[in-house]
């Protein structure tokens, strides 16, 4: 018998089906198996036993309560993935696959009726074999006060992580993206979703950004000393680009590290650029004139993508991860990806695919002609020393004695 160290909750209102599924899950080696007959019952079970890896859930025509349960448990960080245990119409299944990531859940797949133990085994194994993101707290019940955020920045609780950008053909690392995680004294590692709005409201974006910029430039300089360039990407918010002194300060910071502007990339989400001010556009132009790279992030998630490409001086497109996750859902996502790659080539822009989580996605993107990618399958976000060790294990620094 397989041994799968997974915690599984079976939510099904039919006693016989529920019992059969529970027995199958246990036969597959999952000893921590719980069951519930209703959404309310399932919530009480989670409150008693704690988080689970997978919910095997029935979404029938009266299953709106189960959707409410999935949303609530995902926001509370109590559920990670979902297996649907009834057959859905193709359009409903496609919509469910789009919805689950928006709720913060991974939809592993669907096991129809009659329930097939081999299909269930494959889905459980796919969860076990996929790279698991670090335990990032999504506990939305953490009340983030302005004072907590100020203290967090002063005391260095805001930590910089780096996620690799990788050439999909030869698997060489082309650069890294700097990301902020809050090492909260009560909530553990907290996602920016929880605290970035407070950071912006408290007008602390620049303080956080320039601390992150220095962390990234320290890493870049370490690699340049050994003859290895490493592009570092940083996220900028549109509100920061309205600051007329922003670019001058970035230029001074680069000069203090004696590093070229060409070694950094600034990523901006397209949705934040819908109403770009004159100051914002001027700062983008100044950054490009300095030699910095500009990347339009989450490309395809808004409605103004093409207009922004024509108006603003970007030289990189980051394709929204939802298109990558939907590769298995039919030809539409492939068509969007192929078109974006062709568009990037015609405009002389680099295209980076975000959110690559599986080997199959990697393989399909290579077939479609995508060269650069980012995601947990290629490399998770890491602290500086963890990243250095990871990079050295792949290709030791020249002159490092290794």
Euclidean distance between CA atoms 272 and 299, whole angstroms: 12
Euclidean distance between CA atoms 111 and 82, whole angstroms: 11
Distances (CA, A) of 119 to 165, 288, 335: 33, 51, 29
Helix, strand, coil % in the chain, rounded to nearest 5: 45, 20, 35
- Torsion from C-alpha of 230, 236, 242, 247, nearest 10 degrees: -10
As given in the structure block, the two tokens for residue 283 are 């700062």
Q: Which helix (H) or strand (E) holds 212?
A: helix 205-224
- Residue 80, φ and ψ in degrees, nearest 5: -105, -40
Give the Cβ contact number of residue 309 at 10 Å: 18
**Residue spans of alpha helices (H) in 246-330:** 246-257, 278-290, 305-311, 321-325
Cα distance from N-terminal residue to C-terminal residue, the chain: 43
The catalytic position among 110, 322, 354, 357 is 354
Q: ∠ at Cα 350 (270, 398), nearest 5°?
A: 120
Contact (CB, 8 A) for 196 and 138 = no
Contact (CB, 8 A) for 301 and 325 = no
Q: Who contacts 246 (Cβ-Cβ below 8 Å, separation ≥6)?
A: 206, 240, 283
Told to judge if 252 belongs to the known catalytic residues of this protein, a careful annotator would answer: no
For the annotated catalytic residues, the residue numbers are 354
């Amino acid at each position: 018998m397989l041994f799968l160290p997974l915690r599984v909750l079976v939510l099904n209102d039919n006693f016989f089906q529920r019992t059969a599924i529970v027995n199958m899950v246990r036969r597959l080696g999952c000893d921590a198996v719980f069951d519930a007959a209703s959404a309310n019952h399932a919530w009480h079970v989670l409150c008693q036993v704690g988080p689970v890896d997978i919910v095997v859930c029935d979404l029938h025509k009266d299953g709106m309560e189960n959707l409410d349960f999935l949303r609530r448990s995902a926001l509370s960080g109590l559920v990670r993935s979902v297996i649907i245990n009834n057959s859905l119409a193709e359009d409903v299944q496609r919509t469910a696959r789009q919805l689950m990531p928006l709720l913060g859940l991974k939809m592993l797949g669907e096991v129809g009726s009659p329930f097939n133990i081999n299909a269930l085994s494959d889905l459980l194994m796919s969860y076990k074999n996929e790279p698991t993101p670090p335990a990032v707290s999504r506990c939305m019940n953490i009340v983030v006060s302005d004072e907590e955020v100020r203290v967090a920045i002063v005391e260095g609780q805001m930590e910089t992580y780096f996620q690799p950008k990788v050439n999909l053909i030869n698997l060489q690392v082309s650069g890294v993206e700097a990301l902020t995680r809050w090492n909260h004294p009560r909530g553990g590692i907290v996602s920016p979703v929880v605290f970035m709005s407070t950071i912006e409201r408290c007008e602390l974006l620049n303080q956080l950004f320039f601390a992150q910029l220095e962390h990234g430039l320290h890493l870049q300089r370490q690699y340049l000393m050994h003859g290895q360039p490493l592009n570092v990407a940083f996220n900028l918010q549109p509100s920061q680009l309205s600051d007329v002194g922003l670019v001058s300060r970035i230029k001074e910071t680069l000069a203090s590290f004696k590093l070229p502007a060409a070694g950094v990339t600034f990523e901006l989400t397209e949705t934040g650029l819908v109403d770009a001010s004159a100051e914002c556009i001027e700062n983008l132009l100044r950054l490009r004139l300095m030699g910095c790279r500009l990347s339009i992030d989450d490309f395809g998630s808004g409605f103004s993508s093409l207009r922004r490409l024509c108006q603003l001086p970007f030289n990189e497109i980051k394709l929204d991860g939802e298109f990558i996750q939907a590769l298995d859902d039919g030809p539409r996502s492939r068509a969007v990806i192929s078109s974006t790659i062709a568009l990037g080539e015609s405009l002389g822009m680099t295209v980076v695919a975000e959110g690559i989580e599986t080997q199959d996605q990697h393989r399909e993107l290579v077939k479609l002609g995508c060269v650069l990618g980012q995601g947990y399958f290629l490399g998770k976000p890491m602290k500086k020393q963890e990243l250095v060790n990871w990079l050295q294990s792949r290709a030791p620094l020249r002159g490092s004695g290794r």
